[in-house]
Chain A
Amino acid sequence: MSLYQPHLMTIEAIQDETPDTRTLRLTFRDPALADSFSFKAGQFGEYSVFGAGECTFCIASPPTRRGYIECSFKAVGKVTRALRELEVGEIVGFRGPYGNAFPVDDWSGRRVLFVAGGIGLAPVRCVLWNVLDLRDRFDEVTLVYGARTVADLVYKRELAEWRDRPDVRLVTTVDPGGEEPGWDGEVGFVPAVLERAAPTGENAVAVVCGPPIMIKHTLPVLGRLGFPPDRIFTTLENRMKCGVGKCGRCNVGPVYVCKDGPVFTAAELAALPAEY
């Protein structure tokens, strides 16, 4: 089977996260593959809708939950719109897992801070569940999550679950004007809310995913909180086609995002040309 031929997967469940964001739960058609498939938090895949094409998303479910994978997407382009048309029971293609991963094993004993904006919670959710499923190994776990409006917050049921857990500190926020009656979270942009929440960078790592503008303004805040650049992790979202370092599209300076990424530390990002 060629590198470019996807595995077939069935849509087991569909969850609408927001009016324009949807999560699919997928299972392998091939039972042997369903048993053997494994991946690491942060890795991505190429998801196919036959007739429309492929698109790249992270695997949004944690590697600690076997037997299925999930992806969350916004219907913005040709393939994501076609993906949104599909119903439970229909078949999609999947190639992966590709790329590197968050070095979760290295974080034992440390505090873990997650900062996410909008649909950037998808890659964070994967590694957050990964950490929570191995909760004993880590110190404090904090999530600072923001979206434009209350309606734009994704994974609402899981946010409620995390809020209720004593071993997770959750701070949610919406952009000014995005609040609605009954909203008891913060109002403000993620970097400012993060600065107010002031989680310590001492013996801690941070995972930051979201729109480029949020990441840009969050990195200096993390610096002030005491996170060194090599303990801040994020993911790059350059366009990809092959996912396996051949098609040239995701090349940024010396790196191929699909092979050397998508996970990079802030220190690594600082050394890259700003072509992402």
Chain B
Amino acid sequence: MRVISDADLRGLAADLLAAGSTVWGPARVPGSPRPGVEYRPLREAAELDLGAGLPFLPLKQVFLPPTEPLFWWERKGTEVRLVPPAPPNRRVVVIGARPCDAAGADAMDRVMGWDYRDELWFARRDAATVVTVACERPADEACFCSDVGLGPSHPRGSDLLLIPHPGGYAVEEVTAKGRELVAAFPHRFREDEQVTPGETAAAGPPRIDLAGVQRWLADHFEDETWNEVALRCHGCGACASVCPACHCFDIVDEPDSLLAGTRRRNWDSCQTSRFTVHASGHNPREGQHARVRQRVVHKFQVFPRRFGRLLCTGCGRCTRACPAGQDLFEILTLVSERALETS
């Protein structure tokens, strides 16, 4: 099996940086009160920190930045000129993505590509190679990837999947892009017959009945459950900010002057009341219970029915980020139990 050592993985990051690529990977954040790592564009390979567990924020910022220009406009007399953003001209390599993040981007591909194709998203997706490191164990009890059809070494959304073994990683080439990366830096990889694939934490048996959850969600739009679980919710939307699959966005204009400005798209969240409110003041999704319900039903019933993927990869980030102790896995467990009672 092809393998790469710890040192060579860091070396690969250095090679890529030297070749002018943008390299993202987990790294410490100076000045943050929170310990741990975040996905960051690396200035040097030494910043890469693969031993500090799951980044608190998801990988989606690489493909859907929190804010991005859609175009610039300028006015000359009565004429208006629109200038689109330049397509990404550098290769982007993510080193040390986690399987839940790679799978999140794959889920978002579905909505970004159905019927109308979001070229800004796909330009970034196409320019990027995702090198994922399988998890050796769950980051903590918030993790539930194995319960949503994925797992600690699931290859979905990855180009290369690295499975840790002592001193390095076994390399699984998942896509052509992954193979190209290996071919471009052959000196960083070697063959080791001692190492066999599949040596990672096995995905545990699922603890929730997803089919039951989907069935229950489909016909319990009005249900006391939503009032119960929404009580503690502040509607702060932190869950959406840290979700690797939440894709909702806003579009805004920002003038620099009367004669020029930028139209941008920015992350947005369905958990806030302002998301759906009309100019008239009418809000079709009034009440926090309705917004919590939207999040759960959309991710586990509406999206999968339309796009064939759950809009949740079980990363547990929303649970970790929630300042009020909301726990998505607990809600799913509750729904799963209620589905059993009603079936």
Contact = CB atoms under 8 A, between A and B. Distances in A.
Chains A and B directly touch (beta carbon < 8 Å): yes
B248 A249 contact: yes
Interface stretch (B133-141, B189-197, B257-265, B334-342): B257-265
A197 interface: no
B82 A246 contact: no
B235 to A, nearest CB: 16
B119 A3 contact: yes
Nearest to B280: A76
Given A5-B71, A51-B258, A246 B112 contact: yes
Interface in B250-282: 250-253, 255, 258, 261, 263, 265, 268, 270, 275-280, 282
A5 B82 CA distance: 8
Interface residues of B, number: 50
Contacts of B249: 241-242, 246-248
Contacts of B119: 2-3
Contacts of A49: 253
A252 B282 CA distance: 15
A51 B78 CA distance: 14
Interface stretch (B14-22, B149-157, B298-306): B298-306
Interface in B229-258: 247-253, 255, 258
Given A3-B119, A275-B285, A247 B251 contact: yes
A26 B115 CA distance: 27
Given A253-B302, A275-B290, A50 B75 contact: yes
B73 interface: yes
A80 B279 contact: yes
Contact of B70 (A5, A51, A253): A5
Contact of B80 (A91, A273, A275): A91
Interface residues of A, number: 42
Contacts of B73: 50-51
Contacts of B258: 51
B111 A50 contact: no
Nearest to A50: B73
B70 A275 contact: no
Contacts of A89: 78
Interface in A231-272: 237-239, 241-242, 244-249, 251-254, 259
Most buried by A among B79, B248, B297: B248
A51 B255 contact: yes
A1 interface: yes
Contacts of B280: 76
A4 B263 contact: yes
A4 B71 contact: yes
A241 B285 CA distance: 16
Contacts of B282: 212
B275 A249 contact: yes
A77 interface: yes
A252 B115 CA distance: 19
Contacts of B120: 2-4
A235 to B, nearest CB: 14
Interface of A: 1-6, 8, 48-54, 76-77, 80, 89-91, 93, 212, 237-239, 241-242, 244-249, 251-254, 259, 273-276
5 contacts: A90-B78, A239-B278, A244-B118, A249-B248, A249-B275
